[in-house]
Amino acid sequence: MAVQVAVPPARAGLALKADVWLTRGFIVAIILYLVVALALPLATLLQKSFEVYEFRPEKVALAFYRDGAWQDAGRLSEWVERRGYVLNDGLRASERSRERFVDIIPKRERRGVERFRVTDLSAGGGLLLLEGRLSEPGETFELSRREFSRLRLRPEARFGFDNYRYYFATPALRSSITNSLFIATLTTLIVIPIAFGYAYALTRSCMPMKGFFKLVALVPILVPSLLPGIGLVYLFGKQGVLTPLLFGYDIYGPIGIVMASAFFTFPHAFLIILTALSIADARLYEAALSLRASPARIFWTVTLPGARYGLISAAFVVFTLVITDFGVPKVVGGTYNVLALDIYKQVIGQQNFQIGAVVSVVLLFPAAVAFAVDRMASRRQVALLTARAVPLQPEPKRRFDLLMLGFCGLVAVYILGILIMCQLAALFTFWPYNLTFSLKNYDFDRMDGGGWASYWNSVEMASWTALIGTAIVFSGAYIVEKIRGLFAARQGFQLLAMMPMAVPGMVLGLSYIFFFNNPANPLSFLYGTMAILVISTIVHFYTVSHLTAVTALKQMDAEFEAVSESLKQPLWRMFTRVTVPVCLPAILDIAIYLFVNAMTTVSAVVFLYSTRTTLASVAVLNMDDAGDIAPAAAMGMMIFYTNVAARLIQTLLARAVLARTQAWRRR
Amino acid sequence: MSYLLLDGVTKRFGAFTAVDGVSLTIEEGEFVCFLGPSGCGKTTLLRTISGLEFPSQGRIVQAGRDVTRMPPRERDFGIVFQSYALFPNLTVRRNIAYGLENRGMSRSAIEARVDELLELVGLQEHAHKYPAQLSGGQQQRVALARALAPSPGLLLLDEPLSALDAKVRLYLRREIRDLQRRLGVTTIMVTHDQEEALSVADRILVMKDGRIEQIGTPIEIYQNPATPFVADFVGTMNFLKGRVEAPGICRLDGLTLRCRTASFHQGDPVVLAIRPEDVVLRDLERAPENRFQARVLHADFLGPYVRVEVGEGELGGVRLLVDCPINLVRERELREGTALTFALPAERIRLYRDGAG
Ligand SMILES: Nc1ncnc2c1ncn2[C@@H]1O[C@H](COP(=O)(O)OP(=O)(O)OP(=O)(O)O)[C@@H](O)[C@H]1O
Ligand SMILES: [Mg+2]
């Protein structure tokens, strides 16, 4: 049989050429995105931590025009001394610090002065600020009385290590380092054994209700880390039902921080250890049994070593989460200072951006180290995973199963208890004094924090993050994995994609202030918009999404692109027709991950929201700060229900999509 | 004028040279096999021809066009990979139609072309199945149909049969051969299975460490292997070390053998090679030269024949593999320990220079 149907040659022209430029353009765009939204802000932050600001009133000379003649009025420093004026309220000056001249020179001294001459004697200039105009070195401003009242003194800037010296010389600041390390270590030591026991029960026992317990373990992922703090305050605070259990210790402080941190880090540790335990090889256990090893010996020689990389990885993930979290210490920390909270206090409370930058740099160290160790450990774990093994089937053992059930029950009670407490507090008029049912705590519009608008802003922000983030992350991962050539660009991109995981949210947020809230930056128009919240949140959660996408793509045949190319089809057709449909489950996973995290995150966005873009999670923070704890709990629970709904929708969607487009999975 | 010309094609990965100075011409409609052990650079050479890799050095001319630096999409070829790389979420029909888009063909023309190919590979009933619902052999045929759909001038096959079981392989390789003949498409197939190469190829290119060892028809390769490597890789070969004693005579370990010493000089160290099936066992009266009697040391039953290892007796310490047809084994009641007389025909003994000295 000869060929009957003639096949014309492919249109080699535009579509295919465009293909090459499209991929190149895209990879450049995505690298640019990560550079602008991550690398440059961090570089700016580092630079800012070395900028030292100091008021130099001795470098400002004054002259008054009074009674028809100019009189020398000395240096500004003389006025400061004479009045005993405290510059910047005694705080360290930072780049935003300003002093009004009329506050330093009292009104009675200015009586009868018609005009003022103020001279900037500094070598660098810029000490004087009048309506946005800065003085040149040696420049003299001649001012009317009205103008003089608007004149401000700026601190002089130079580069040096003074900020760091100051930081380490101030016990109140320095002690946060040990506090943070202590809290993070203690939480890790508590959470890891519990998570291990819980995962062990789910994989190695025949206890009932495993599905229920697995769901419960994942609940904390769906709420902001502020919520367990609030729940603990209700349970163990001054009027708490369970306060006696603390034997007189105060929940505000390290105890509360550790208890709440354990709550919100538990699912992360649990998931990693669960994966590590579920890849166990039954053949190893059979071999050990045939050698007559005792159960205890099997546990120490087979079970633990098999899961060791998972345990290491989980430990460092928990450590990083705790040390970078600021929601928990904000709510239950009391006077106990930790690094992440210091950044917030320095920037929001004292407007001291320079020290905020120093604390950020200090916080980057443990986070980066923990990140590196975690990456190494999880790479090993993956290697274990690829060696296919016979899955282990646990056998019923009555006593052991009951014991495990009891243990999981306790953990579940703790998790659900905190959540239910929050819900009850939100629904009663005034826990624990007035236990009548009311919805007044949901009347957010009457509280601080932005009202119901913040809730809808959050939903909008999370939706954009999920939508745009998933598109960027997945396409980026596709290019890294599947495109030939462009080697250097792909390497650079890979590195950039791993960086966000090592950068705490607070640090990211502060670096955005420095980078975007700078009139000289052409991108400064983004500051205070919804866009910057979406941009920062995508970057903040980039790494995990990227790794999910890469894992899914690695499971695709490496030759698909080559085949498609040999058939003269443009890359985007391959991408939309095959790659995306096949990877749809992973894509939905990424989307829900981004959505849930965007709903709950506080750390980066707390520096970036504006009055038009307040967020639900930040509202929880602000209402709690203002003493409206019940409404804060109510808003936190709204976030929880929203995330539950989003998860349900995702599950249903995934099922529908699977049924429609993935018929090929069935044999 | 040849259809495909490779001129000194070299491919390096960093310091490692995967393909080393390969020159070759292939005629239109020819079926060529690249044969060699794992890691010798067959796949790399194939990918270089397709443009999926660019050569570090050398030139490739296809149908009169210099395509050396041309990306795959501008070349004219179809390719089938070892994994088949069928798109799992597209039906057989959509897989085959994939390469027909973007060509200005009407929908009905595309459907007609797909039907044609489905018939060609005999998968009409399976058109609406997904790849996961097909057997390995069927998947292989879909991959072939997909590669052939746009009527490429060159078909590249990278170990297309290696994932299949022995029976299916045998059947499919004949089918591929027939298909190739019918369509007349120039074809290159990579394989490390010598039997496969011998049975389907017009010409075979044997590779070792990125270099060409020999190019020739299957019969040339089998009967006149250019190097001991080829002789060993294609079929089985006895190798005996010795020395040229006089024109037409070699000595080894106390044995004297008549053989063709044409291009060798007296005293040259040589390796003598003879295939087990070339050892003569019947009508020995008519083969007076190189006749020996020895004992059967080992016997391996291989189905249609028994491969025995002989030694001792007149062979002394020398060991030889000899293929004995099963009826001869029965006739003479051969077993381990029995004596066997045989002859090594001079014209079947090949001589190689002994590289090892
Ligand atoms: N992208 C690459 N980078 C570095 N080395 C490579 C690359 N591709 C192939 N090689 C090396 O080149 C050599 C030849 O590889 P190739 O895949 O061509 O072998 P092959 O003959 O097809 O072997 P097989 O029969 O196992 O498929 C191997 O040693 C391989 O490790
Ligand atoms: Mg190969």
pLDDT exceeds cutoff 50 at A667: no
Number of Cβ within a 10 Å radius of residue B310? 26
B29 interaction partners in chain A (CB closer than 8 Å): none
| Of residues A175, A256, A265, A183, the one with CA closest to residue A217 | A265
Residues in chain A: 667
Task: Please judge whether B116 and A563 are an interchain contact, meaning their C-beta atoms are less than 8 angstroms apart.
Answer: no
Domain boundary, last residue among A101, A125, A160 = A160
User: Could you count the other beta carbons within 10 Å of the beta carbon of residue A516?
Assistant: 24
Minimum CA distance residue for ligand 1 atom 2 = B13
In this prediction, residue B125 carries a pLDDT of 92
- Residue A384: the pLDDT is 54
Same domain, A134 and A193: no
Query: Residues A411, A456: one domain?
Result: no
Parallel, antiparallel, or unpaired for β B339-343 and B291-301?
Answer: antiparallel
Percent pLDDT > 90 in chain A is 37
Residue B53 pLDDT > 70:
yes
pLDDT of residue A11: 63
Residue A107's domain comprises: 52-160
CA distance A566 to chain B (A): 6
Partners of residue A661 in chain B, C-beta under 8 Å: 89
Buried b (16+ CB within 10 A) or exposed e, A566-588: bbbbbbebbbebbbbbbbbebbb
Nearest CA in chain B to A568: B73
Tell me if A10 sits within 8 A of A568, measured CB to CB.
yes
B106 in A contact zone (CB under 8 Å): no
Is A267 found in the same domain as A123? no
Let me know whether A600 and A506 are in one domain. Answer: yes
> Does residue A503 lie within any of the structural domains?
yes
Q: Nearest by CB to A578, which of B81, B87, B116?
A: B87
Instruction: Give the residue from B184, B191, B188 showing the smallest Cα distance to B207.
Output: B191
State phi, psi for A388 to the nearest 5 degrees.
-65, 140
For residue B89, the SS3 value is coil
On whether the CB atoms of residues B155 and B148 are closer than 8 A, the answer is: yes
Q: Rounded distance, CA A8 to CA A568, Å?
A: 12
Stretch (H or E) spanning B305: strand B305-311
Residues A205 and A263 in one domain: yes
Res B357: pLDDT: 41
Q: What's the pLDDT at A387?
A: 46
- Domain stop point among A433, A454, A478: A433
3-state secondary structure (DSSP) of residue A156: strand
Sign of torsion, CA A166 A169 A173 A178?
A: positive
Please answer yes or no on whether B89 and A664 come within 8 Å at the CB atom: yes
Q: CA dihedral defined by A127, A128, A134, A135, rounded to 10 degrees?
A: -80
- Chain centroid to Cα A358, Å, comes to 18
Nearest to A7 among B73, B103, B130 (CB): B103
Question: Does A382 score more than 80 pLDDT?
Answer: no
Which residue matches tokens 């062979």? Answer: B315
Quote the minimal CA–CA distance from A12 to chain B in Å: 6
Residue A478, domain member (yes or no):
yes
Q: What per-residue confidence (pLDDT) applies to B262?
A: 80
The whole-angstrom separation of Cα B316 and Cα A650 is 80
Q: Cβ neighbours of residue A322 under 8 Å, at least 6 residues apart?
A: A183, A184, A187, A188, A261, A265
Please say if the pLDDT value at position A431 is more than 80: no
Containing A267, the helix (H) or strand (E) segment is helix A254-278
Helix intervals (H) in A392-541: 398-427, 451-482, 487-498, 505-516, 530-540
User: What CATH number is attached to the domain comprising A356?
Assistant: 1.10.3720.10
CB < 8 Å to A580, chain B: none
Q: What number does the ligand 1 atom closest to the CA of B37 have?
A: 25
Higher pLDDT, B188 or A523: B188
Q: In this structure, is residue A17 part of a structural domain?
A: no
Q: Is residue A34 part of a domain?
A: no
Domain identity same for A420 and A467: no
Nearest residue of A to residue B114, measured between CA atoms: A5
Per-residue CA distances from B292 to B250, B259, B320, B331, B344 (Å): 15, 15, 11, 19, 8
Q: Judge if A122 and A189 occupy the same domain.
A: no
Model-level pTM?
0.84
**Residue A376 belongs to a domain:** yes
| Residues of chain A with C-beta less than 8 angstroms from the C-beta of B87 | 560, 577-578
Cα gap B323→B278, rounded to integer Å: 8
Is A312:A299 a contact under the CB 8 Å cutoff? no
| A379 and A311 belong to one structural domain | yes
Q: Is B63 left (phi over 0), alpha (psi -120 to 50) or beta?
A: left
Cβ proximity of B305 and B325 under 8 Å:
yes
- Is the pLDDT higher at A184 or at A658? A184
Residue A418 has pLDDT above 50, yes or no: yes
- Name which residue leads in pLDDT, A244 or B67: B67
Q: Kindly report the nearest CA distance between residue B75 and chain A, in angstroms.
A: 8
Domain tally for chain A?
3
pLDDT at A12: 54
For residue A440, tell me if it sits in a domain.
no
pLDDT at B19: 94
Neighboring chain A residues of B100 at a CB cutoff of 8 Å:
7
Ligand located closest to B157 CA = 2
What single DSSP character describes residue B280?
B
Edge-to-edge strands, sheet with A99-100: A99-100, A152-153, A128-130, A133-134
Give B193 Cα–ligand 2 centroid separation in angstroms: 12
Encode pLDDT of B239-259 as tens digits: 988 888 888 888 887 788 888
Residue A212, H or E segment: helix A210-218
Name the residue type at position B297.
Answer: L
Last residue of a domain, one of A374, A398, A433: A433
Residues, CB within 5 angstroms of ligand 2 (ion): B 43
Q: Indicate the pLDDT class of residue A15, thresholds 50, 70 and 90.
A: low
A20 in a structural domain: no
- B356 pLDDT above the threshold of 70: no
**A581/B147 CB distance under 8 A:** no
The C-alpha of A586 sits at a distance from chain B's nearest C-alpha, in angstroms, of 15
Burial A143-163 (b: 16+ CB within 10 A, else e): beeeebeebbbbbbeeeeebb
Q: Is the pLDDT of residue A116 over 50?
A: yes
Q: Is there a contact between B99 and A569 if contact means CB atoms under 8 Å apart? A: yes
pLDDT tens per residue, range A602-620: 988 999 999 899 999 999 9
Task: Verify that A454 and A544 share a domain, yes or no.
Answer: yes
Contacts of range B223-228, beta carbons closer than 8 Å, 24 or more positions apart? B224/B350, B225/B273, B225/B350, B227/B352, B228/B271, B228/B273, B228/B352
pLDDT at A10: 67
Q: Which of residues 310-349 of B touch A (CB under 8 A)?
A: none
> Of all residues in chain A, what percent carry a pLDDT higher than 70?
94
Q: What is the pLDDT of residues B212-237, one digit of tens each?
A: 999 999 999 998 899 999 998 998 89
Helix (H) or strand (E) holding A309: helix A308-324
Question: What's the alpha-carbon Rg for chain A, to the nearest Å?
Answer: 30
DSSP string for residues in A556-612: S-TTHHHHHHHTT--HHHHIIIIIHHHTHHHHHHHHHHHHHHHHH--TTGGGT--TT
A118: left (phi over 0), alpha (psi -120 to 50) or beta: beta
Q: Quote the CA–CA distance of A399 and A402 in Å, as a whole number.
A: 5
pLDDT value of position B66? 93
Say yes or no: A413 and A473 in one domain: no
Strand partners, A70: A65
Rounded CA separation B273/B237 (Å) = 6
Q: CA-nearest residue of chain A to B131?
A: A664
- Please name the residues in contact with A341: beta carbons below 8 A apart, sequence gap of 6 or more: A176, A326, A329, A330, A333
**Bridge partners, residue A152, by sequence:** A100, A129
Residue nearest to atom 9 of ligand 1 (CA): B44
Q: Does the pLDDT at position A389 exceed 70?
A: no
Residues A119 and A87 in one domain: yes
* Whole-number average pLDDT of chain A: 86
In a domain, A471, yes or no: yes
Among chain A residues, the shortest Cα distance to B78 is held by A566
| pLDDT at residue A319, as a whole number | 92
| A384 Cβ contact partners less than 8 Å away, ≥ 6 residues apart | A279, A306, A309
Best probe of the B interface among A566, A576, A666, by most B CBs < 10 A, is A566
CA separation (Å) from B327 to B246, B303, B322, B323, B331?
Answer: 39, 11, 15, 12, 6
The chain-wide mean pLDDT, for chain B, equals: 89
A vs B: CB pairs below 8 A = 115
Pocket of ligand 1 (CB under 6 A): B 13, 16, 18, 36, 38-44, 192
- Same domain? A156 vs A293: no
Nearest to B99 by CA among A565, A20, A18, A582: A565
Total residue length of chain B: 357
Minimal CA separation from B108 to chain A, in Å: 10
Mean pLDDT throughout A73-82?
88
In the predicted structure, residue B153 carries a pLDDT above the cut 50 = yes
Which band of pLDDT confidence, cut at 50, 70 and 90, is reported for residue B114?
very high
Residues near A228 by Cβ (< 8 Å), separated by ≥ 6? A220, A259, A260, A263, A264, A328, A418
